[in-house]
Structures are given as C-alpha cells and as structure tokens.
Structure 1
C-alpha cells in the first residue's frame, strides 16, 4: 500500500475519534453535571453551555498555533501529541469530582487539540496531486460524521454503559489512535531553520491569494453554522412533529445525524468530481443546493420528512469541506500550509459553537421555522460571495493562463518560421 493511502486511513480513524470525543459530551453533559452535584435546572443549563462551548472556542484559538508548530517540526509529532493528550484528558473527565474539574478538563482538551489540523496538512501535502480531492474528501467524512454522530454515540453509550464509561471508552479509542499513528504513519519531513515567527498580519501580507483564502474560511464557518444551528432546537422540533410517537430523543438524534451518514457516502465521490471539474465549481454548487434544501425543512409534517431532508443536506454539503481544503492547498505556499489549515479548522470550531448558540436564540425570539430560513439565507449569501470572490477570480486566472500559453505557442511558431 502506498504511504499516502496508509496515512489517510490512520488519519481518518484518529480524526473521527477526535471529533466524536469533542462532540459526544453534548447530550450527556446536563446529566453528568447533575451527577456531579448540581441540581438547579438553570445552573445545569448555564454550566452545560460553558463546558460544551469552552472546548470549541479554545480549540479555535490554538489550532493555528499547532498548525505553525506542525510546519516547523512536522505533522507526525503533532498527531502523537494530540492523540495521547486527548486520551489522557478525555479519560480523566470520567474521574472528575466536581464541575470545576470538568470545565478545566474541557478547556485543556481545547488547548491540546490539533490532531485534525495536522491530519489535514499531512494528507494535503503528501497525497498525489491527481488524488488530492478524493483523499481530502475521504478525510472530510471523518470531520463531519464524527461531529454529527458524536451526540448520537454519546446518548447510546450513556443509556447502555453509563456516563463515566463514555469518557473512558473515548479516551481508550484515542489511545488506539496514538499507537496506530506511532507505528503506521510515515512522514519524510525536513525541519525548517529556526526563524522569527510571523504574526498573522505578516503572514497575510505574504499570501498571494489572501482574499480567496478569507472567503474559504467564511465558507467553512457557515458550513458548520448551518449544521449546528438546528442542534439546540431539533429535539423540540421533533417533539412538535412526532405527536404521540415515543423515543423523541432517539428520533432527534437520528435526524441530526442523518447528514453525517449522507456525508460519509457522498464526500469521496464529490472529492473525485472536484479533481475533474475544479473544486471551486463544487463549492459553489454545494452552497446553492444546501440553501435550497434548508427551506422545506421549515414546512415538514413529520419527523421522517425532516430526516430525509437532513440526509439530502448531507449529500449537498459533502463536497464543501474537501473542495475548500483542496483549494487552500493549491493557493497556499507550502511553508504556510499548517497555519492556514489551522485557521480553517478554527473557522469550523467557531461555526460549531456559534451555530449552537445563535440557533437557539433565533428559535427563542422568532420561532423554530426562522432558524431554517435564516440559515438558508446565509448559505445563499455565501454562494454569491464565493461566486464573486473565488469562482470568477479563478476562472479569469485560468483564462489568463490559457492566453499566455497561446501567446507562447504563437511566438514559438513565428520564431521557427523566421529561422526556416
């Protein structure tokens, strides 16, 4: 097996487990906080929000930092650091004696994360160019499916194995990821010479396509915002749709995770498509389709219709993440790849956190249906921005390149004619 394929398999498993570890705590957080001695409903809600959101906010801050370290010292050391650190920290959450320890461990989890950033950089830089879109598409299924299936996994484990065992099992899986990374990931990395660390402002000045990169970061943010804007309200919405049906929480988990299942199926295929027709076309098409699919979710009559539309959303957006990463790889100088992917992961994390918070606020003040309308509008707005800021610019760039080639050929022909 080729080295890049073996690295992709190991990175997929580690990223999937990492994202499950970060998101599986959502449905069990209130129960665990109650088990730790907090019984006031209002206090449980507040502490749950802090504990859940802290990891993503801190991860958004530290992802570019670990991306820079990966550029300096290699990606494999970052994979080992993050996987071992996550194994210890997440496993320790099952031993927490009070909510302060739990919140502290959640913050520490955000600090030591970086497995996903290092994986994306490793796969992007080592994969053969003609397979880059497909490889990043496969890896993206670990991001999205891990974060979407995490709440469902957490709920199942709690029901059958207990709250504490959920943390122990996740920590154990991360330990397996550590050893598979240690023994199977291969990287030929030449450390760069020690030099002054560029600030974000200095880094931006050296990027040839900084405006396009910003647009892609915004697209990553809105992708996660769109997924997670419905998380706070989906159980309530299912309850309204279900009527006398039992197991509302289970059906809500299935509906929320349907997008993750569709993503696993469609992302590699759309990654291959982006290799053929260009990733910018896939990004634009995916945003438009996602905006369309969100609208009928406000008018469904039963949970199964909602589940089908969530599955359709997963197919529509499956090409976004790999195509964004492929574009970032193409337009970013290699020495900055880790930091740029780190900023992109930060956008993902902030989209996850912001979507969860704002989705609930929109539902509380305007109504549940407006969550779907506003999210759809954001996707359409993003599509317009991508068309103007990415698609047209890259299309014009391709035309210029073709014109330059034609001029070179014509010049060569005239030169040959004069020589004859």
Structure 2
C-alpha cells in the first residue's frame, strides 16, 4: 500500500462536519489490521495445534481444522445484524470497544485450550464477540463526511485485507520462534493495544435523539421496524445481493485452486507454494486498488463503480478457466482482486446514503451477514460445480453470477437516479 493512498484528499472546511474523522479512520485501520492478522494467523499451524490437543489421523485433522476455521465466520455472520442494531442504539464506538476487548481475551484464551472442542468453542466465541472490522465500517461510514466516504472505506478495507494477507505469514514465522501458545498470547496483546487506542482516541459524534410524541396514555408509540424506516429498499436489497456475490466470487475458487494449479504444473512442481501465491495475489490487488477505487466512486458515483467492478471481475474470470501456465492464473487473480476492491467501500457507501442514520448500523450489519453468507456459499458452490462438472466450469459459473449482479446493481442505480429527479 503506497503512502499516498493513505493520505486523505483535500477537504473543503465546509464539509468538515466530523472534526475527528481522520483520527477515527486511522485508529480503526490499525484495529482492523491487527484483528485481520489474528483471525488468519492460525492457518499455517492449525493442524499442528490440533495434534498437540490430541487429534490423530489425516481425516480427523481435516475435519477439525475445517470446523475450527469456519466456526468464527459462522458466528460472526449470525451476530453481525445484532451488533449493528446495538451500535445504532448505544453507539458505534462502544461496539468497537466491546469487539476489541472480547477479541483480545478470546485470543489469549485460545493459547491455553486443552481440547479440540475448546478450540472450536473459542473460535465460535471469537466470531460472536468480535466484529471489529465490520464495526469499523459502520463507524467510519457514519462518522465521515459523505464526500470522503468512498476513500475512507476503501482505505479501511485495504487495512483489513492487509491483515488477512500477512496473518498466515506471521503464523508461519512466529511459532518456531516463540511457540504456538505464545503466538496467541502475543496476538491478544496486540489487539489489547487496539482496544486502548479505541477507548482513548476515537471520538464519536452521536446524533441528537429525537423524542417521539407520547400517546394519550403517556406511553411512547412503538418504534417502527428497521426495514419500515427505509424509504426505498431497492438499493439496499441490491447491495446485499452484491455483497454476497463479491465474497462468493472470491471464495468459490478456494476449494479447487490447489488442485487446479496441480494440473498446470509438472508432478514435482511446488503446488502449495504456487497455490498460496495465487491466493495472496487477490488480496494484494485488493490492498493496492481499494483506496483508489473508493476515491473514484466519490467522484463518479458508487453504482457506476459497482457495475464496472462486477463486469471487470466477470471478464477476468473467463480466461482463468483456460490458462495454460500458473503465472497466467496468478496475474489474473491479482487483477481480479483489484477489480473486486471497489465493491466493499461502494456497497457500504450506497447503504449508508440510502437509509436513515438511525438504522445505518443495523443495515450494515445485514450487509456483513450477506458477505459472510458468500464466504460459506462460495466454497460449497466451487466444490459442487468443480466435483461434478469440472474445475473450469467454476470460473465460468461465477462469471455468469457477476454479470447478474451487475445487471441488478445497474437497475438499482437507475431507479435511485429516477427517484432523485
């Protein structure tokens, strides 16, 4: 990530309705980066840790590894709407304080587990009490001048993706030096620093709560449901679908990429090394492109960037099905990561601008859940299509879904423009 991409573009003083927005962004950037590292650092040594906990046999190790890794995303996806609504009611900063402290404690506890069940249980707890990155998206989206929302969310997205990219590298280098359990203690300590920074540096400006008129009996009238408070639901529903497709496109290839690369290499080729490089290439493209595409969306419109990114991803998926060399696949994955980078900040910005501020957190929580649904559905779809039809068909089927998403997002954008006339 270049230094220039982290420097905020000039802002008109008349737009500075949130005087602490840049400081809030950089604290959230640090917290999202550290939690991203913490959530992924166990990937390289997870089977080794399970062996230390008494799991024996390749089949059992594979099953427990899958359960332990997926547990966090399952509970996080289920809890995201709840934490979003709590953020609307009690404040977004409070949710970040809760998430960072909960993650710091949970990561330290993972370092003292004695059984595989305890490990899976704490991974579930990490997803339930965590959510710092998604909470940061809510806070930054609601505490940033609207003209800078895309750039700020793109920068924040880059920080989280950088954490996901570096996490496995940290997890591969630290355990041989300090041990597996000490690695979790260290991760918990770093997240605790993010907790302290969140407590003392983030300044949230809460909107003045409007008092609803009392009924004749003196009681407050019942509050309208979250969806009932949204004037036009079409843009929001389109963005929920787009978020699902975004993560589905990224994750659909994950189950087959190692096997696919093995077909492109000689029998003695370094399959796992090239597979890791291909997976990391997408994250690297995302890190580099996200702030720039977010800034572009602030200028030309969020729906235009969403449609363009979806179509670019669809086009880049097609040649991935017909590559003849592993380096061709790596370059295409890098470009696809850059194309997908514009989606998350634009999706978040559209939802932020389409709903009342009082329910923004709840709706962004639903958006997070839809993205987690894509993380679950993507590997299932990729494994199913790849196993029954062929691995090349995975790329083509995902490309077709990207085109469908572009059509839906384009129609929602046109409907929104007509409504504003």
Cα deviation, 1:383-409, whole Å, max 9, x if unaligned, reads 111122x122123234x2xxxxxxxxx
2:16 is aligned with 1:16: no
2:71 is aligned with 1:49: no
Q: Distance in 2 between matches of 1:35 and 1:198?
A: 52
Q: Distance in 2 between matches of 1:35 and 1:363?
A: 34
- Counterpart among 236, 241, 244 of residue 218 in structure 1: 241
Q: Distance in 1 between matches of 2:124 and 2:372?
A: 14
Q: Distance in 2 between matches of 1:275 and 1:85?
A: 34
- 1:278 Cα deviation after fit: 0.5
Deviates more, 1:301-310 or 1:354-363: 354-363
Cα deviation, 1:306-330, whole Å, max 9, x if unaligned, reads 1111110011111111111111111
Q: CA RMSD in A?
A: 2.4
Hey, what does 1:405 align to over in structure 2?
A: none
Q: Distance in 2 between matches of 1:335 and 1:136?
A: 20
Q: Which has the larger helix fraction?
A: 1
- Counterpart among 218, 236, 243 of residue 259 in structure 2: 236
Does the 8 Å CA contact 1:225/1:354 hold for their aligned counterparts?
A: yes
- Structure 1: where are the runs of 5+ without partners? 401-420
SS at match of 1:269: helix
Hey, what does 1:298 align to over in structure 2?
A: 321
SS at match of 1:209: coil
User: Residues 92-103 of structure 1: matches in 2 within 5 Å?
Assistant: 92-103=109-120
- Distance 1:147-1:375 versus aligned 2 partners, 3 A rule: farther
2:417 is aligned with 1:395: yes
Q: Distance in 2 between matches of 1:24 and 1:149?
A: 8
User: Residues 128-147 of structure 1: matches in 2 within 5 Å?
Assistant: 128-147=145-164
Q: Distance in 2 between matches of 1:302 and 1:159?
A: 34
Q: Distance in 2 between matches of 1:42 and 1:244?
A: 24
Does the 8 Å CA contact 1:73/1:191 hold for their aligned counterparts?
A: no
Hey, what does 1:89 align to over in structure 2?
A: 106
Hey, what does 1:3 align to over in structure 2?
A: 20
2:339 is aligned with 1:322: no
- Counterpart among 259, 267, 272 of residue 290 in structure 2: 267
- Counterpart among 309, 333, 336 of residue 332 in structure 2: 309
Cα deviation, 1:1-37, whole Å, max 9, x if unaligned, reads 9511111011111112223322333443333222311
- Distance 1:393-1:59 versus aligned 2 partners, 3 A rule: same
Hey, what does 1:256 align to over in structure 2?
A: 279
SS at match of 1:337: helix
- Distance 1:156-1:224 versus aligned 2 partners, 3 A rule: farther
Q: Distance in 2 between matches of 1:376 and 1:310?
A: 13
Does the 8 Å CA contact 2:255/2:382 hold for their aligned counterparts?
A: yes
- Counterpart among 199, 214, 231 of residue 182 in structure 1: 199
Does the 8 Å CA contact 2:143/2:205 hold for their aligned counterparts?
A: no
Does the 8 Å CA contact 1:72/1:191 hold for their aligned counterparts?
A: no
2:181 is aligned with 1:164: yes
Q: Distance in 2 between matches of 1:348 and 1:196?
A: 34
- Distance 1:24-1:295 versus aligned 2 partners, 3 A rule: farther
Q: Distance in 2 between matches of 1:151 and 1:379?
A: 28
Does the 8 Å CA contact 2:54/2:115 hold for their aligned counterparts?
A: yes
Hey, what does 1:416 align to over in structure 2?
A: none
Report the number of matched residues: 396
